[in-house]
Amino acid sequence: MPLAEIIAGKCQDCQYQEMDNYDELLPYPQKIGLTAKGENVLTAYEKLEFEKRWPEWARHFENCIQCFACRKVCPMCYCTECIASKNEPRLIPQSVGGKQNTVWQITRIMHLAGRCIDCGECERVCPAKLPLRRLTLKMRQIVNDYYKYVPGLDPRQDLFWSSYSKKDPEYLIFKPEEK
Ligand code: SF4
Ligand code: SF4
Ligand code: SF4
C-alpha cells in the first residue's frame, strides 16, 4: 500500500521534511512532499470564491459543541485558566450556538497566532469535524508573511509575541489602507 494512502494528512502537507535541528532523524521511505494529495489544504481552500467562504464557516461553527477538545489537546494552549472558562467577567459566551462558537474559535485562533506549530491535533480530535487546520494554517501564513516568524522552526529566533520592532507592521490590527 502506498505510504501516501495511510499517512496522516498533516504529514503529507508537512513543509519541513528536511530539518536542520533534530535529535534523531528516522529514515523516510519516500519523500511525500507538499503535493502528495494534489495540493496543500490551504491552497485548495483558497480556490473557493471569497463570498462563499463565510457561509461555509458559519455552517462549520454551527456544528461546534464547545467541548474544548481542541484546546485540551493543543500543546500551545497551556493557560492555567483559559479565557473560555473565566466567569468574572465572562468573555466567551457559554451557550452553544453559531455566533457564540464563532467567538470562541476566533479567540482561540488569535491566541495561537505565532504559537501554533501546525501539529494538526485540534482538527484530529474535533468530534464535530471542523476543518480547524485551515484556520491555523492561515494564521501561520499571515504571521510568516508579515513578521517572518514560523513557530517552532528556529529556537534562536526571538518569540513572536515577546519581541517588538518599530518596523513591525500592524496588519494584524489595521489594514494597510487604514494606517
Ligand atoms: S473540538 Fe471541535 S467541537 Fe470541540 S470546541 Fe473545538 S471546534 Fe468545537
Ligand atoms: S495545530 Fe496548532 S492550534 Fe491545533 S493543536 Fe496543534 S499547535 Fe494547537
Ligand atoms: S484558548 Fe487562549 S486562553 Fe484558552 S488555553 Fe488556549 S491560549 Fe490560553
Mean pLDDT on 8-16: 74
Question: Quick one: which atom of ligand 1 is closest to the CA of 63?
Answer: 3
Q: 113 vs 39, which has greater pLDDT? A: 113
Taking the C-alpha atoms of residue 7 and residue 53, their distance in angstroms, rounded to an integer, is 28
Does ligand 3 come within 6 angstroms of the Cβ of 82?
yes
User: Is 57 domain-assigned?
Assistant: yes
| Domain ranges, residue 17 | 1-38
User: Is 140 domain-assigned?
Assistant: yes
- Among 108, 110, 112, 122, say which to mutate for ligand 3: greatest number of ligand atoms within 8 Å of CB: 108
pLDDT of residue 172: 59
Secondary structure (DSSP) of 101-140: HHHHHHHHHHHTTTT-----HHHHH-TT---HHHHHHHHH
Give the ligand with the smallest distance to the CA of 161.
3
Main-chain dihedrals φ then ψ at residue 103, nearest 5 degrees: -60, -45
The answer, yes or no, to whether residue 103 has pLDDT greater than 90, is: yes
88, 17: one domain: no
34, 53: one domain: no
Residues 72-85 have pLDDT tens digits of 999 999 999 999 98
Residues 35-63 have pLDDT tens digits of 444 457 788 788 889 899 999 999 999 99
Taking the C-alpha atoms of residue 137 and residue 19, their distance in angstroms, rounded to an integer, is 19
The single-letter code of the amino acid at 10 is K
8, 81: one domain: no
What pTM was computed for the model? 0.84
12, 97: one domain: no
**Number of independent structural domains in the chain:** 2
14, 67: one domain: no
User: Is 44 domain-assigned?
Assistant: no
C-alpha cell at 80: 492555567
Mean pLDDT on 153-163: 84
Residues 137-152 have pLDDT tens digits of 999 988 888 888 999 8
pLDDT of residue 38: 43
